Amino acid sequence: MSALTLPVDDGTRARSQTAELQVLAQRIRALAKRKNAVILAHIYQRLEVQQVSDFIGDSLNLSREAAKTDADTIVFCGVHFMAETAKLLSPAKLVLLPDMKAGCGMADMLTADQTRDFRRRYPGRPLVSYVNTYAEVKAESDICCTSTNAVRVVRSLPDREILFAPDKFLGAFVQKNAPEKKIISWDGYCPTHFVIRPSMVEARKKLSPDALVLAHPECAPEVLEMADYVGSTQGIMDYAARSHRREFIILTEAGLLMRLKDLHPDKRFHSIAPCPHCPYMKYVELEKVLTCLEQERTPIEIPTDIMSRARLSIERMMAIA
């Protein structure tokens, strides 16, 4: 057999792939420096994308970084509505999304027309829209929220009855933690968290009986009842970091699991089977990050009439957050 046809063992292939990622990462960092670009990555991103980024966080913290950066260009490694939020907060900056196919199943469940109809059916009630919505929906909303500050945002409103969209499960979580309010939720949900069922958690608990269960509030209420802690992606990270416990079951997207394992090699982190993956988040790859920086061909653009109204709902949230 010639040298050209010799099989490559798995170890050699893995080392080759790692070397390729390292070269890509070096090129991205050098180009970002030359172009005065900042790279923001959501915690659900691929680990190699997280590692090349200037800042890694959840929706709220990424919003804060987008608002205060002095970079000329923001490369947003996340999904479309997140990049839109960065553009709303930094309208004069070039905001790039590495792959325009990186959408959101939950955001797709609510359009501007549906939002207006929702409000017409419940006149006089303020609308709190989850940041996991497109700019056209934010423009029809009174204020936005994230999973980190949803309860605080709702409690800041003087009204007793509050419209909440689009996540009915986050709405139920807010209702439980703000019982003085009446939450009227849109019938939407996150497809990635929707697949997490109590039976899956029970099966994992049998394998890891000493593990604490940490869950995202986008999970169904019956799943949250099984959790030792419920919080945003950043909240879960912080809880796991400060806890004296050594073993955890993580009920959210796989990217957070990988991040926790990378940050805390002395602790054990498990998922349910199968591990939940957001297909949209995984559209972003290092090659695409490099390409969008080189060619600047995937800019986020928001119509002017939507921009100002949508930005106001984000700014109101930031004032509370």
pLDDT 10s digits, 3-38: 444 454 566 665 667 888 899 999 999 999 999 999
pLDDT > 90? residue 187: yes
Q: What is the pLDDT of residue 10?
A: 60
Q: What is the pLDDT of residue 6?
A: 41
* Least confident piece of the model among 15-29, 98-112, 165-179, 290-304: 15-29
Q: What is the pLDDT of residue 4?
A: 44
pLDDT > 50? residue 302: yes
The span from the CA of 153 to the CA of 234, in Å, is 17
For residue 234, which amino acid is it?
Q
Do the Cβ atoms of 128 and 163 come closer than 8 Å? yes
Across the range 131-154, mean pLDDT stands at 97
10 Å Cβ neighbour count for 90? 18
Q: Which H/E stretch holds residue 11?
A: helix 10-34
The span from the CA of 49 to the CA of 41, in Å, is 7
Fold of 196-275: Rossmann fold (3.40.50)
pLDDT-derived band at 140 (thresholds 50, 70, 90) equals very high
pLDDT 10s digits, 44-97: 999 899 999 999 998 778 878 888 889 999 999 999 999 999 999 999 999 999
The span from the CA of 61 to the CA of 148, in Å, is 9
**Closest CA relative to residue 260, chosen from 273, 279, 282, 275:** 275
The span from the CA of 265 to the CA of 260, in Å, is 8
**Closest CA relative to residue 75, chosen from 40, 99, 48, 101:** 40
The span from the CA of 175 to the CA of 83, in Å, is 29
Q: What is the pLDDT of residue 297?
A: 86
pLDDT 10s digits, 234-247: 999 999 999 999 99
CATH 3.40.50.10800 residue window(s) in the chain: 3-103+282-295, 107-191, 196-275
Across the range 115-126, mean pLDDT stands at 98
Q: In the chain, pLDDT over 90 holds for what percent of residues?
A: 88
Kindly state which CATH superfamily the domain 107-191 is placed in: NadA-like (3.40.50.10800)
pLDDT > 80? residue 2: no
**Does the domain spanning 3-103+282-295 belong to CATH 3.40.50.1100?**
no
